[in-house]
Structure 1
């Protein structure tokens, strides 16, 4: 990832955009932090916030005219927060701590003519930047001295003037305001500022400055430079209202320009956010509780406890819309902009630990973040780019997606993949054309093979033109793993089958297949199974639910309205009462399988499933096999839509596996066995010869429930165990337990070594006591 790409990703996330009040403030006081400290009763912390941004905070905090209040998001619900009164309370009841610490001396001198607020701001800012400042004024304070004592106590002004001295600001008597004087100051100093917010403003013409028609100095709007080189001015009406915060903003703008002049850098670059500016931040006010403004007991303003109460009304504006609904984004304690930086840094690591690998590989690619984000930030795109780069540079951990890719390999292998035309002819014969091709998808085939057979039989009975069937995978796991080399062949295989059967319409039971074919085989026509069932009518015996169920939509269906709508219409015809979850349809949550989350981060996948299952006390209804099995892992009762359509099917038994990625429920065959059995069953129905079983497939295994659970959690399939035992029995290479019947053997068919502790029971039966696996190779001694 190039640095500009990182910047583009960062820009898409608006979480770090300033809140509305801060953006509206001419000097960008961090009101959000101010109210946070005040609400916690931390007046000193609040004062520190003012000190960071405000010039002369002991004065400006008392008199600020708070234009920020008009932009307060609380104001969209009720009365805005009284920010000005909060600043005043902070200034009244706190004192600045410690000395002001300017930057090291720059060896440069600036002159400030005038004692008004704009001039004092220039002196304050330039002093903090390390300049030696000479402030020429007979009346430090200027028009501030016209404010009544109760609004601006003179003691407060005196205190801040004394603090100016800490910043290398020297207070000197006023000078004759004439052109010669100003020219001399410009020659003797590196920059000069003239403030016009005085009780008696200077005459710009007498100073030798070019003027506007109203007699005010003609200024360059962005830099406040006058017609005299090196001289800047402010405190004039054309630049904005002569309010306290407006005058401070003019002084600050001039100070920035003077600093840039001295440093010989651009006077105009990157200044678009000076003064009040726009913000892209989004803050939802949905569900915000009303909280009336706090009245003041004292005429001088809020007491500390009143300020705390008023500050607690602040919404602490931020976006975080995606984090609010996504356990994955919440887990890593950040937000997309922060994650983009972490991923960029992770990809830049040449040697050492890559801390963000799990972050990159745990995204479910569900798309909810993009749906709820006001700026359409799609975390899946960022993670997909990172995964692709990791694969390309060989930095992807082998273990991240190994199980999922092995699963894909099996689903598309000779053992599980199948293509039959409407007559039952396979590819060994001459395939006929079909009007339809039923594509159930790998997860339904692996979890509920009987449902696949019953659905196919119904479609063949009801649809004219013939219905073929294809057992295969759409390739989504390879796409999610950024393995384009494995993804493209699956698409090519589907296209080849489609063309062999005369380009039929694909009937899809799986929305993931629907999304994959829509995006990568757009010329292949598809239709959701549920839409077809609406056309054909439901099979005899289809049953309604006995009570209200909460309907769960798969995340890959969120942008496929044909799936969303046809399921609901089908349930209406079934008279099946449902509850729409708070997050459903386009805003549905992932079950924890998508994007290979379950493969790369099983704990996260489990958390997703349990969180989704906990969003309603009702039993759930799903129409994705993987969603059904994932959501049921915590004991939640979940019914598949096909359970209603084919209630007599043995697959309608409630699943309860804690490892749904491997098997549907305890005691049932794992997904690989089911897919292989489904292929054999369909071939047998077509009168075809079924594939001959491998010798290891004839082994019968017995496992206690706790052993089965441990094996599943380690992502070890029945075939892995059987192959290990068969290899040991055939070769005689096994470790024997002394004085017992148990044997221990290992087998390394590819990149993973499997170990099994087992006990022969006779008649090709074996009891499995333990099984585990690892990737390291155990080498013998060097000879």
Structure 2
């Protein structure tokens, strides 16, 4: 077996390397857990909430929680957001979870017990995710947490009005269902020695979060009564719905989500009358907090002090905060981009407060590691391998969540899963790195980049559907308690919002090409198989099912030449099969070519006697086999109108052999055509076939023109102007795909039809966007079922039921597909065409060859 030419192989590799057909949409790739967002949003939009929650739970054990508190990086990546506003993914997830999640359906399948023990320090989302995955892999897992409740920092750092505690407890119940042992109120390093824990377990997962709050200790009186760090402040509020020692007027320092949580929580505390926010950023938009949280704080009555930094904490005689002096912040970062605020010392003001909460960041509490055996980074997080999460100096210790590199809940879960994969491999003695990539285990930038017009057929960016906003409790009511402030979408809201999704995907070639769908789910998949197995191991029917219409390339945002790949394989199949096509059906082409080059069905004529042959009319194969009278009439008209003698050649241009991949046979047969034209001594060849036009334009020595561009120049027969004005038919026009790039042909055809007076209604897929008729690529004998479906699809696009073609093969295909189909020459050299004259014109091969012989006679007659 041969080897494909280098250019064909490189073309395939380019498709495999750069095809976006299997690329996830940005929402999914930007989700660290790679939730199939597009799919569950689609299911919600279709009213299938049960199906949606099934898809969600394939990846997430906290759908209700994440529906409320996820920072939704998926929405930041949403393609719709580039044109409008992103899909409200979190609220759609929450709708599906709140209404359709049922513990009965949770996946509790576990592999057989391995006898291995794993300890997990921390019951937050990272630790819980790791515990779930390891338990399902058959390991004995125990979670330790110093808090008395599930959820870690997610539980004590996120206020109850955003995340009700019963939701956490409900979703964490899966741990008990899986047999995970959870020991709350148990502090490692105090109740259990860390070294002992490592020795008693085969692996340890550290997922302690960032529980150490920060206070600006450069400020005088930073340790005064009434000064809190955000972590301890929120934890106390979470556990007690209060905070011992809080006063009436609270200032919260910081501009992030934690600061907003502190400020909004303070408003709900008994005795608090006023809450101030102090942040360095000069505008709400520049704050690091989400705008939703900022807007919530404003609505609830938090008083913002933008572009302000702290200057001094004032205390009373009892050491209690009595005021906070703040000053104008001029810039936050220095010229090198480092955090280095600059303030205007001449612009200060005093806030009358008795409580100051610092929400300026949190650190990792590594106190459990008394001997400091774990390597740490400068920022206090534990140093691990970026992919495996294995500690760099403790091989049986793995780290996940905020104490590794996560910042949000969904990232913590993804790191918990990565740590679990690594721990599982470690326990089995397997390579931790083999076959793993960050794209599989973390958020990444997708290759899927689509212009708006490719996203959703018929979507008009100007016709925007407003993003659905969930209803909330009235601000004056919600600050009276820690009850949840935001409501779940109704069914109507969820479906309306879900149906805003553009369902981003790049399988536009698959949507367009019937053939590709018969053999693959994506070009990348198919050509990967070719590169892996070799073309000889693949079914040649695939290559010979390509219509060579290039519509896949037309639709592809990257213009991949898939036709070139399929057609490039055909010559190799021909070589391997002794010069013949491997497709049995192509034996009919061999017969066609034999007859098409026989003297009985061929003729070459000089211009009529007394004239020098300046032009040669070349009608091709299909037209002479369909309408011999039209062939003769065209030659007669050309002889009447052109200044110079017109001869003719009736012969095949050789395109069928070229299409099959018979390169040598094509050279031989085209050489015969070239010799006949040379013998006539003509300067210009006039073709009525678009395939002949393409072949001659590439190979013929003489000048080549199309009949359809020539007729507008020389005019129609005088009696044919306006002949169609009395017709009761409105036509569609089928443009040949082989002439897709020839706008001059499109214009010429329409000029002819317009001057004949027939009415036309343009198809959506016309001119340069035309669709294949099903005849191209010699597909009909190779894969007749496919050809029939392509013909039917194209014929069904007619909006009037009547189609004009300017290729006889296309005309036959349109009729095979079910449309009334005429060749433009039927109209040009016939009577006025009306609905009464509609009839089937297709004929069998015997009649076609009889017509071919009659065409020979017509051409011979016109040359005498």
**What TM-score results when the alignment is normalised by the length of structure 2?**
0.66
- CA positional deviation for 1:186: 5.7
The residue that corresponds to 2:813 in the other structure is 630
1:513 aligns with 2:692: yes
The residue that corresponds to 2:683 in the other structure is 504
Task: Specify the SS of the correspondent of 1:675.
Answer: helix
The residue that corresponds to 1:744 in the other structure is none
- CA positional deviation for 1:233: 3.0
- CA positional deviation for 1:585: 1.1
- CA positional deviation for 1:202: 1.9
CA offsets per residue over residues 543-585 of structure 1, 9 Å max, x none?
2432653222111111334433443455566666533211011
| Residues 388 and 418, structure 2, Cα contact 8 Å, conserved in 1 | yes
The counterpart of 1:676, out of the listed 838, 843, 853, is 853
Quickly say closer, same or farther: Cα 1:12–1:212, change in 2 above 3 A.
closer
The residue that corresponds to 2:169 in the other structure is 158
1:22 aligns with 2:2: no
Task: Name which structure has the greater RCO, CA cutoff 8 Å, separation 6+.
Answer: 2
Quickly say closer, same or farther: Cα 1:190–1:532, change in 2 above 3 A.
farther
Task: Specify the SS of the correspondent of 2:604.
Answer: strand
Task: Specify the SS of the correspondent of 2:600.
Answer: coil
- CA positional deviation for 1:612: 3.2
- CA positional deviation for 1:188: 6.2
CA offsets per residue over residues 670-715 of structure 1, 9 Å max, x none?
221122222244345545xxxxxxxxxxxxxxxxxxxxxxxxxxxx
The residue that corresponds to 2:549 in the other structure is 366
The residue that corresponds to 1:244 in the other structure is 409
Q: Which runs of no fewer than 5 residues in structure 2 stay unpaired?
A: 213-363, 473-485
1:216 aligns with 2:223: no
The residue that corresponds to 1:202 in the other structure is 365
The residue that corresponds to 1:598 in the other structure is 780
Partner Cα separation in structure 1 for residue 106 and residue 713 of structure 2:
80
1:439 aligns with 2:618: yes
Task: Specify the SS of the correspondent of 2:175.
Answer: helix
Quickly say closer, same or farther: Cα 1:578–1:67, change in 2 above 3 A.
same
Partner Cα separation in structure 2 for residue 89 and residue 638 of structure 1:
52
CA offsets per residue over residues 474-516 of structure 1, 9 Å max, x none?
2222333444454332223233334445583332211111223
The residue that corresponds to 1:413 in the other structure is 598
CA offsets per residue over residues 304-349 of structure 1, 9 Å max, x none?
6654554454444444434544555567896656766899999999
Partner Cα separation in structure 2 for residue 498 and residue 108 of structure 1:
85
Q: How does 1:761-776 map to 2 (within 5 A)?
A: none
Partner Cα separation in structure 2 for residue 504 and residue 187 of structure 1:
94
Partner Cα separation in structure 1 for residue 609 and residue 781 of structure 2:
35
| Residues 111 and 191, structure 1, Cα contact 8 Å, conserved in 2 | yes
The counterpart of 1:266, out of the listed 423, 433, 456, is 433
| Residues 631 and 858, structure 2, Cα contact 8 Å, conserved in 1 | no
CA offsets per residue over residues 511-545 of structure 1, 9 Å max, x none?
111223445x2766422222333443444334243
Task: Specify the SS of the correspondent of 1:102.
Answer: coil
1:123 aligns with 2:135: no
| Residues 684 and 704, structure 2, Cα contact 8 Å, conserved in 1 | yes
Partner Cα separation in structure 1 for residue 675 and residue 82 of structure 2:
58
The counterpart of 1:456, out of the listed 635, 642, 661, is 635
1:235 aligns with 2:401: yes
The residue that corresponds to 1:145 in the other structure is 155
Quickly say closer, same or farther: Cα 1:503–1:251, change in 2 above 3 A.
farther
- CA positional deviation for 1:79: 4.4
1:580 aligns with 2:590: no
CA offsets per residue over residues 9-57 of structure 1, 9 Å max, x none?
6666544332332222121111233234434554443332222111444
The residue that corresponds to 1:285 in the other structure is 456
Quickly say closer, same or farther: Cα 1:445–1:265, change in 2 above 3 A.
same
Partner Cα separation in structure 2 for residue 132 and residue 280 of structure 1:
40
| Residues 80 and 87, structure 2, Cα contact 8 Å, conserved in 1 | yes
Partner Cα separation in structure 2 for residue 500 and residue 433 of structure 1:
12
1:70 aligns with 2:76: yes
Quickly say closer, same or farther: Cα 1:433–1:170, change in 2 above 3 A.
farther
| Residues 81 and 310, structure 1, Cα contact 8 Å, conserved in 2 | yes
| Residues 476 and 513, structure 1, Cα contact 8 Å, conserved in 2 | yes
Quickly say closer, same or farther: Cα 1:465–1:225, change in 2 above 3 A.
farther
- CA positional deviation for 1:143: 0.7
Task: Specify the SS of the correspondent of 1:65.
Answer: coil
Quickly say closer, same or farther: Cα 1:532–1:263, change in 2 above 3 A.
same
1:530 aligns with 2:530: no
Quickly say closer, same or farther: Cα 1:45–1:459, change in 2 above 3 A.
closer
| Residues 445 and 452, structure 1, Cα contact 8 Å, conserved in 2 | yes
Quickly say closer, same or farther: Cα 1:505–1:307, change in 2 above 3 A.
same
Task: Specify the SS of the correspondent of 2:131.
Answer: helix
